[in-house]
Amino acid sequence: MTTAGGSASRESQRLALLALDLERQFHATRDRSGRFRAGADGERQVARALQMLEQQGWRLLFDRAWPGTRSSNVDVLAVGPAGVFVIDVKVWRDAPQITGGHLLAGSENRDGEVSKLRAMMRPIQDALEAAGLAPAGVHGFLVFANHRVDEAFGQIRLAGITELLAQMIGRPQRLAPADVESIAAILESVYPEMLIDEFDVTRQAHLPEGEFTAGTLFDVDTVAHAALRAELALPMERWMTFLDPAQLKTVRRNWNGPARITGAAGTGKSVVGLHRALHLAESSTGTILLTTYVASLPKVHQQLIHRMRPDLAGRVECINMHAWARNLLDRRGLPYHLNARKAESEFSYALLACQLRDSALPPHYWRDEITYVIKGQGLTTFDEYAVRPRPGRRVPLGRAARADVWDLYTDYQERLAAKGLHDHADLLLMALAELDREAETGVGAVVIDEVQDLTLTGVRIAHRLVGDRPNGLLLIGDARQTVYPGGYRLADAGFTVRGRAEVLTVNYRNGSRILETGLEVLSGHEVEDIDDTVASGRPQLHNSYTAGDVILARAQSGTEHDTVMLSAITALNPDDLANSAVLCLTNDDVDTYRKQLSRAGITHTPLDRYDGTPTPGIKIGTVQRGKGLEFRHVFLPHHDRHLKNAEQSADAADRLPLARQQLHVAITRARDSLWMGTTTPEGQ
């Protein structure tokens, strides 16, 4: 049994030891390099403080020539676990201040220093592009040797020596040791040494005894706390920085109209979308809207955007489409009354009053037909509905059956209107109508993640915001990962992406066995894509990760099944537990297993509350809530129960393909290991 707070206490002790170790390293570096004279300038102070980081895996390049200039230099290029730091050292009499969007020293405008540092960073970013380092991995710092400061000024950060060390040590690890060496080698070739190296510690005058100590250069406690933040970071920090050349090219590509990125699970579509949003924010004006269908994913997107480029976070709005529609209606003073429970009751009353010719189909089938086909495609007359293709709906409905559905829809809408109610699909239709009445300004570009899960109405809203302008609209998704009923044809949205589509073909996420398990679920399966083509269940795909383990746990009862799963979860160490998830196919299952985790004393975070911030304990939620995310270990309780139920349902033609796609999505959330539970009663 562990003691409450024990792990935190051990972590505190470990960080205290780390701080002492850093201090010892500083003294060792000082002793090796000799003592400096009393008048050592700020650049030497920064150099002495930084040199201890070499034992932490950092490469330091001091006083490098700036290519293309006759005498200008880059004070420090530091390459380490947290990325590439471009450091310009300053010693100003007055402390730096940011006032009215300008950098001041006293009353003097120093914006030119920021422009100069940005100019220094551009060739570095270009030089490292071939190595796959995204711009977010290069950080610019104005470091003030004689002032304490820690403030962002656009892309540049102002810092004192303590704050610089805290940033370098405290940021999550993005580069592996091999990456550090290769990047340092590139920078050494592009940025040669100056003829006179002011930072060469072997050629400096001696410093009187006691002039400098670790405490006078930096605050040890601050650096230790920064190290704790780095320890808590998620492994996603690495892919936040590195993109392969094809991905980086896609991020920076210019399209002369709406464009699309596709690719199977794990190929980095969402990562490219995040970097694309930042690229657009940096290179254009207006708000960049990064949207999707589910409500939980935008919270994670916003957190990642802030961690990647805090200076641009205010330019990128991450919000799901329904929330954006509500905000639009609120801004324009249009009333609505959204109540899903009451709306569902009105649908039930309408269904009871309706005479459906095919009454064998379950009620949810007719509910989905209204939500995803009639309202989802914005159909307003029966004549439209009678002839409209129904992508993703395999149960055939003739004209007479559609007439019954239309009567059901009409009755349902009348009941909602009588009570002053709206459902979620109504919100999108109201927002679209409002945009047709009066255009919305201020949106520079729209990036849609998981576009296959939106309805046609949602895609039309996005297109209304930016039209066909260059680089205005980017659709990201994979038809194989559709987890909601229905579908649409892009042609019906009023635009095309012909000639502006990219396909990502390398899986970076899943261990090979995990990936094969996920693809096997879709073997022989075909799915209608939004471009009016049919996508194969087994795409052409290269796998870059050969590890991975798949465990199929067979039990004779539900009790045995749950005991085995909880035992496997309990066996995880705290770090693995925090990077794991239990994914369920229904909300009822989520409630059931949340209670079981609580009874077992296992810390957990519901995915509908998760925003990407590192938290202890396992994550738990529906497969839909897990979309766009990845986890080190994934647990799928009763993974095949949904498939078995779908096979026996009256709407199996629709329900079974959707169940297979949902299971495929669940499996491909796993990186290192996948646990799948199933029950087979004895004798079967």
- Give the pLDDT confidence of 52-107 residue by residue, as tens digits: 788 788 999 988 888 766 657 888 999 998 889 999 999 898 999 999 889 999 99
- Encoding tokens for residue 406? 């239309």
Give me the mean pLDDT over the 275-293 stretch: 94
Q: Do 256 and 281 form a contact (C-beta atoms < 8 A)? A: no
Percent of the chain with pLDDT over 70: 86
Tell which wins on pLDDT, 193 or 8.
Answer: 193
Q: How many CB atoms lie within 10 A of CB 413?
A: 17
Name the binding residues: 263-270
pLDDT of 40 above 70: no
pLDDT of 18 above 70: no
Q: How many CB atoms lie within 10 A of CB 64?
A: 21
Nearest to 265 by CA among 663, 673, 650: 663
pLDDT of 295 above 50: yes
The identity of residue 116, as a single letter, is: K
Confidence of residue 122 (pLDDT cuts 50, 70, 90): confident
Residue 308: alpha-carbon gap to chain centroid: 10
Query: CA–CA separation, 326 vs 343, rounded Å?
Result: 17
Mean pLDDT (the chain) is 86
Q: For 474-521, where are the alpha helices, taking DSSP H only?
A: 512-521
Per-residue burial over 147-186, b if 16 or more Cβ lie within 10 Å, else e, is bebeeebebbbbbbbbbbbbbbbbbbbbbeeebbebbbeb
Length of the chain equals 684
Query: CA–CA separation, 44 vs 31, rounded Å?
Result: 15
Give me the mean pLDDT over the 451-477 stretch: 98
pLDDT of 571 above 70: yes
Among 21-25, 127-131, 387-391, the least confident range = 21-25
Distances, alpha carbon 576 to alpha carbons 226, 307, 580, 620, in Å: 22, 22, 6, 14
Name the binding residues for ATP: 263-270
Phi and psi of 592, rounded to 5°? -60, -50
First-last CA distance in the chain? 39
- Give the pLDDT confidence of 182-235 residue by residue, as tens digits: 899 989 888 888 754 444 443 343 333 333 344 444 555 565 555 544 544 445
